[in-house]
Chain A
Amino acid sequence: MIRFLVSRFVQGVVVIFTVITITFLILKASPGGPFRSERTLSPEALAAKMEYYGFDKPWPVQLWRHIVHYATFQFPESQLFSGRTVDEIIVSGFPVSASIAVPALLLALIIGVPLGAQAALRPNTLEDRTSQLAATIGICTPSMVLGPVLAILFGLKLRWFNVSGWFDTSDWVLPAMTLGIIYSAYIARLTRGSLRETLAQEFIRTARAKGADNTTIIFKHALKLACLPVLNFLGPAAAGLLTGSFIVETVYQLPGLGQFFIASAINNDQELLIAISAFYAVLIVSFNLAVDILQAWLNPRIRLHA
């Protein structure tokens, strides 16, 4: 276990610094340097800015500077939002993204797992077909369609919620609903598929032969194993949601991390771009590790390989 954790930690650090390097290299390969969108800058001011951010140095030096920054937790200043360090910006955007992501994930699980389980327990019945159809429609309704539709319905028609912005305490509801409904469809499908597969396995037959009742079989034996694919899906999904869903944040005009990323990409804010990519990598690596540990705990047949 210790060996596993150490090896995964090292691997995670490699991933994070590779992501920093790749992001940096993509940015370096870009035609036109930093501050290209600020046309009003005089040559002297530009040179001063370039020197301030270290862009006058050769690129290996710059890359090394980035790596040292992140290795020592001395986070650089953003170019677009001058005066604010990148970690301050992430700290300001992350709560917005998180307060949508967490309810969205909960909603997705609350709808998705029972819907999928119920379908798996009554295969090829009307209930199964209905819930499968609902899940397929959910998967085929992208957030850029569902988001505006919910905004029209609950925002413009019923006037229950604001359609855009981040002002009221209820502003998380519509974005979270949009994402929750879509993700619940994926979870329902995964749950159905894996629960059906699990129920067909030998150990379930053994449990039945032993005389265990249906509830025990489903909750104690089957669901435990059947939630593994769901967990596998949730790890990266949670990381993606926490760093901000680009579409939903755009539809509802939310000041989350996704919006910061797009703004910094369009304005070529290299420091912020690298920071958000690295933050995302940190989240994915941690969630994947958490998923692997949970999986090994739920299914003793899975060993944690270093």
Chain B
Amino acid sequence: MSHTTPQSVSPMRAAWQRLMRQRIHGVALAFLVLLVLACAIGPMFSPYTQAEQDLELKAAGPSASHWLGTDSLGRDMATRILYGGRVSLEVAFLATAVAAIIGVGYGMVSGLAGGRVDAVMMRIVDIIYCFPFINFVILLMVIFGRQFWLIFVAIGAVEWLTMSRVVRGQVLALKNLEFVVAARANGAGFIHLLFKHLLPNLAGTIIIYAGLTIPGIMLLEASLSFLGLGIQPPDASWGVLLGDGSRVMDVSPWLLLYPGLFFSATLLALNTLGDGLRDALDPKSMSQQ
């Protein structure tokens, strides 16, 4: 089927082809899909639950019945890692969604409004950039009781700044193009312009920056949980497992090693795919390749 000439390839399809030109991107994508599947349905097939304790076994190395060993309370590590991955991935995606919604909304309004409104809104972003975010997040977590929903809302609420800047820049470039001017001449209102004309054209940019934000957010969640300020026991995220593991690393190093491997591999895949998406969707950065 070679009737598709270069002109007839849709932009998204072309981007997909550029993305898959490098095998490493395919590998990263396949790894992430497998990981998501394993975290989503893996725990169902495990003979153990993540909180089930076997106090006689205590911390034991990998064996036939516990593939990745058990922790100091005799809980199956493989199950805990998959379950923790589910929590970590959920927080990462939800927090990224929160950050993207705030950032895109703010950036679009600022860019389209232009003039003094834009200047003030961007100056506010400049000022917020100087805030000690991690301190605010820690404070919020300590004070409001470390609830699951608060974790991603708090992280999302501080991670939207770069997205808003990038989106605003794109809107500035788009809003003087003919199709927007034409829509405006036809009497399109502010909201209509935002949702019908600008948002679809921002999709690529939004995907790129969301992709680049996810690993950072995963790290932030893991840091909070590592410090005991994020996900609370008996629930577990990878940060919780790493925190537990680092306290007993001298006697049972596998409790640090396996969650660490999973976490690093996931970050690696996310970063690789994020960079690949940027190169595939952003013609400007392609020229550097």
Q: At the interface, yes or no: A151 with Cβ under 8 Å from chain B?
A: yes
Asked whether A144 lies within 8 Å of B271 as measured between CB atoms, the reply is no
Query: Which of B6-14, B52-60, B129-137, B174-182 faces chain A?
Result: B129-137
Asked whether B268 lies within 8 Å of A148 as measured between CB atoms, the reply is no
Asked whether B223 lies within 8 Å of A148 as measured between CB atoms, the reply is no
Query: Which of A73-81, A93-101, A168-176, A244-252 faces chain B?
Result: A244-252
Asked whether B138 lies within 8 Å of A140 as measured between CB atoms, the reply is no
Asked whether B260 lies within 8 Å of A145 as measured between CB atoms, the reply is yes
**Residue total for B at the interface (Cβ-Cβ under 8 A):** 39
Asked whether B136 lies within 8 Å of A15 as measured between CB atoms, the reply is no
Chain A positions within 8 Å of B239 at CB level: 144
Which of A140, A141, A151, A273 gathers the greatest number of chain B CB atoms within 10 Å? A140
**Residue total for A at the interface (Cβ-Cβ under 8 A):** 50
Q: At the interface, yes or no: A290 with Cβ under 8 Å from chain B?
A: no
Contact of A144 among B134, B226, B288 (CB under 8 A): B226
In the assembled complex, the CB of A210 is this many whole angstroms from the nearest CB of chain B, namely 24
**How does the 8 Å CB contact mask read for B202-233 relative to A, with 1 for contact and 0 for none?**
00000000000001000100110011010000
Docked CA distance A12–B126 (Å)? 11
Q: Is the interface of B mostly helix, strand, loop or mixed?
A: helix
Asked whether A152 lies within 8 Å of B253 as measured between CB atoms, the reply is yes
Chain A positions within 8 Å of B272 at CB level: 136
Q: At the interface, yes or no: A30 with Cβ under 8 Å from chain B?
A: yes
Contact of B223 among A144, A265, A284 (CB under 8 A): A144
Asked whether B268 lies within 8 Å of A140 as measured between CB atoms, the reply is yes
Asked whether B243 lies within 8 Å of A144 as measured between CB atoms, the reply is yes
Chain A positions within 8 Å of B143 at CB level: 26-27, 29-31, 265, 268
Asked whether B132 lies within 8 Å of A281 as measured between CB atoms, the reply is yes
Q: At the interface, yes or no: A11 with Cβ under 8 Å from chain B?
A: yes
Chain B 230-257 interface residues, beta-carbon cutoff 8 Å to A: 239, 242-243, 245-246, 249-250, 253, 256
Chain A 221-246 interface residues, beta-carbon cutoff 8 Å to B: 240, 243, 246
A-B residue pairs in contact (CB < 8 Å), sample of 5: A148-B246, A152-B253, A261-B135, A280-B132, A281-B132
- Given A137-B264, A140-B268, A247-B226, 8 more A-B residue pairs with CB atoms under 8 Å apart are A140-B215, A140-B264, A142-B267, A144-B226, A250-B227, A261-B135, A262-B138, A281-B130
- Measured CB to CB, the residues of A under 8 A from B are 11-12, 14-15, 18-19, 22-23, 26-27, 29-31, 136-137, 139-142, 144-145, 147-149, 151-152, 156, 193, 196-197, 200, 240, 243, 246-247, 250-251, 261-262, 265-266, 268, 273, 276-277, 280-281, 284-285, 288
